[in-house]
Every structure is written in structure tokens, then in C-alpha cells.
Amino acid sequence: MPAPTDVLTKLTRDYAATTPQRLKVIDTYMVFCVAVGLIQFVYCVLVGTFPYNAFLAGFGSAVACFVFAANLRIKTNPSNSRQFEASPESAFAEFVLCHIVLHFVITNFLG
């Protein structure tokens, strides 16, 4: 039975070696989304929900970006290419469009 540290090192090594560069960029972005969302959530827990619409907008923005990034990652992952007829370029175009709409909504809702 391999030690947990061995599993972790193997995991990171394999990730670094086999994951395409673009997916790594998306992964970084997703980690960033989680961090921004968590910070806002902790702030809300500490300070209270008073400008609730602002909290919803800020936190929702992070969550939605995470979801869009996850979709983009699934669609552009080469190992999933058999399931998707659309090209990675069209997936990226959808991603950009969704983001533009999202940020309009968020800015409007921010108060």
C-alpha cells in the first residue's frame, strides 16, 4: 500500500506532465474563483449580510465564473473530444459570451 505522500507526489507529477497547458490555465483560474468566493463568504459571516445584494453579486460572480470555467474545461479537454462535436474555439466563444452577460448582470446587481 503506497504512502499518502507518494500518492500526492505522483498525482502532482502526472498532472504537471500530462495536463495540457490550456487546462492548467483554466485550473488556475478555477482555484482563483474559489479563493475570491471564499474570502467574500468569510467576510459576510464576520460582518453580516447587510448589503445583501452586494454580497450576492460578489459571491455569485465567483461561483458563476467557476461554473463557466468548469464547462470550458470539460469541453476543451482533449480526452473528451469524442463527446463534443464543437471545436474548442466555439466553446471559448460561448465562455466569453456567458461572461459578458454575467458581468453585466453582476454590475447591475451590485448596487
Partner 1 sequence: MRLGALLRTWLAFSSICLPSASARSVTGDRLLVLVPAVEAAIHDYSIFLDSLKRRGFEVSIRDAANSSIVLHIDGDRLYDHVALLAPAAKRFGAALSIHDFIHFVNTGGNMIVAASAALSDFHRRLAAQFGVEFDKHGTAVIDHSHYLSSKVSSNHTIVAASRLSHIPAVLSPPLLADEHPTIYFEGIAHNYDSQIPLLAPLLTGSRSTYSGSSVAVDRPSLKSTQAQLSGRSLGLVSIFQSRSNARVVFSGSSALFSDALVGAEHSTNGLFINDISQWAFQEKSVLREVDHRHRLASAAPSSLQPDHYRVSNVINYEIDLSVYYENKWHPYIADDVQFEATMLDPYLRLTLNRTQVPKSATVATYHGDIKLPDRYGTFTFSVNYKRAGFSSINVHDTVAIWPLRHDEYPRFLSAAYPYYAGSFVMVAGFLALCAAWLWNTGPTSKSSKPKSS
Binding site for partner 1 (CB under 8 A): 18, 20-22, 25-26, 29, 32-33, 36-37, 39-40, 43, 47-48, 50-51, 54-55, 57-59, 61-62, 65, 69, 78, 92, 96, 99, 103, 106-107, 110-111
Q: Is 24 helix (H, G, I), strand (E, B) or coil?
A: helix
Report CA-CA distances (Å) from 78 to 30, 47, 52, 68, 94.
19, 44, 41, 18, 18
For residue 90, the minimal CB distance to partner 1 (Å) is 13
In our burial notation (b when 16+ CB lie closer than 10 A, e otherwise), range 87-100 reads eeeebeeebeebbe
Output the smallest distance, CB 93 to partner 1, in A: 11
Minimum CB separation from partner 1 for residue 5, in Å? 26
